[in-house]
Amino acid sequence: MESRKLQLIGGSSFMVSLPKSWIKKNNLDQGDEILLDIDDDVIKLMPKKYTEEHRVVKAVVGKLPKYDESFLRRFIIALYIQGLDEIVIQDKVISPKVVGRISRIVHDVIGMEIIDAGEDRIVLRSLTTTEFDIEGVLKRMSQIISGIIESIVDSIRIDDREGLKEIAKLEEDTDRLYMLAVRLENRIIRDMMSPSKWSEMRNILGMRIVAKTLEEIADSLFDFSENLYSAENYDEIAKEYVEVLLNVEDMFSKVMLAYMDSEIEKANDVMEMSHELEEELLAKIREGAEDPLLIYPLIDICRKIKSIGVIAINRGVRELING
């Protein structure tokens, strides 16, 4: 970090010099305009020509470490969630088969497309840079989770055992939205490094934890539906879980509302409700009255609802003291 001294000019104006290396890097000259982004006690400087085009965040990968689809999936998704606008992969071993693998992976994330593919180069570009907001993504994830619970309950009520297999697609949708949420968070955090925005950054990090928790709740619901589908005594036990699922959906809806509205008391009430249900479910396992494979996913959801409640309380307290 460099330092500069303020100089008084003409008795009323102050001046500070800029590093020559920065001037050269940005191809600036005398008379060029500089924009000031003033944020309380922090000022950002940028050339006026620093348009959205110049702000594209780009990464170049010189060589792919491996080419199997499982590795490529982890690798491409890791690049995606960094919030990059453009990813250029340069590799002499790129074959149509590798391009096909990457294409399948890209179709599983939101807003990224292959715009160029040659013998030694693939270019991926985000077509949705600012069209989404994190809270909107979290809201959609919570809607999908409520839909999963309702789908399980409906399948049980109408004796549609095969309907439980449809849960997998909804769970995949939450995975895609989770990756989008992390991507959006990384982009925002990149612009929040000034001390004046640290409170807002903590809020963004809380959103990231909520997004991960929602993704895990969807996983637990998927596990429950798969285990229920596979249960040998399905016809005897399925309808026993309707009431507890409806309770879970009610608590989940309430905790998400408390989180979105920063309602401290409501979040606390839901945490108490979730704790009581968790204790009831644990008691059933201790008594040997229920199948642990069906109960543990529900217990896990109760605990994650409590985690969202804690974040909701923390968010509400921050807003209260910053008020």
Q: Which amino acid is at 159?
A: D
pLDDT by residue for the chain (323 residues), tens digit each? Answer: 678 888 888 777 888 888 888 888 878 888 888 878 776 677 878 787 665 445 567 889 988 888 999 999 999 998 888 888 889 999 888 888 999 999 999 998 888 899 999 888 999 998 765 567 888 899 999 999 999 999 999 999 999 999 999 999 999 999 999 999 888 888 777 666 555 555 677 778 889 899 999 999 999 999 999 999 999 999 999 999 999 999 999 999 999 999 999 999 999 999 999 999 999 999 999 988 789 999 999 999 999 999 999 999 988 888 876 65
Task: Kindly state whether residue 148 falls inside one of the protein's structural domains.
Answer: yes
Task: Kindly state whether residue 26 falls inside one of the protein's structural domains.
Answer: yes
Q: Which helix (H) or strand (E) holds 172?
A: helix 167-190
Q: What is the pLDDT of residue 147?
A: 95
**Cα 34 from Cα 20, distance rounded (Å):** 14
Task: Kindly state whether residue 2 falls inside one of the protein's structural domains.
Answer: no
> Helix, strand, coil: what percent of the chain each, to 5?
60, 10, 25
Q: Tell me, yes or no, whether 33 and 68 share the same domain.
A: no
Q: Tell me, yes or no, whether 85 and 160 share the same domain.
A: no
Dihedral, CA of residue 151, residue 155, residue 161 and residue 165, to nearest 10? -10
Q: Which single residue is written with the structure tokens 């907001």?
A: 133
Q: What is the pLDDT of residue 274?
A: 97
Q: How far is CA 152 from CA 1, 24, 87, 140, 241, in A?
A: 56, 62, 40, 19, 10
Q: What is the pLDDT of residue 134?
A: 86
Domain span holding position 94: 58-126
**Cα 304 from Cα 248, distance rounded (Å):** 11
Q: Tell me, yes or no, whether 117 and 214 share the same domain.
A: no
Q: Tell me, yes or no, whether 154 and 266 share the same domain.
A: yes
Q: What is the CATH number of the domain that holds 279?
A: 1.20.58.220
Q: What is the pLDDT of residue 271?
A: 95
Please tell me the total count of domains within the chain. 3
- Which tokens hold the place of 32? 């060029």
Q: Tell me, yes or no, whether 158 and 114 share the same domain.
A: no
| Alpha carbons within 13 A on the beta-carbon side of 29 | 0
Neighbours of 268 (CB within 10 A): 16
Q: Domain end: 126, 156, 179, which one? A: 126
Q: What is the pLDDT of residue 293?
A: 94
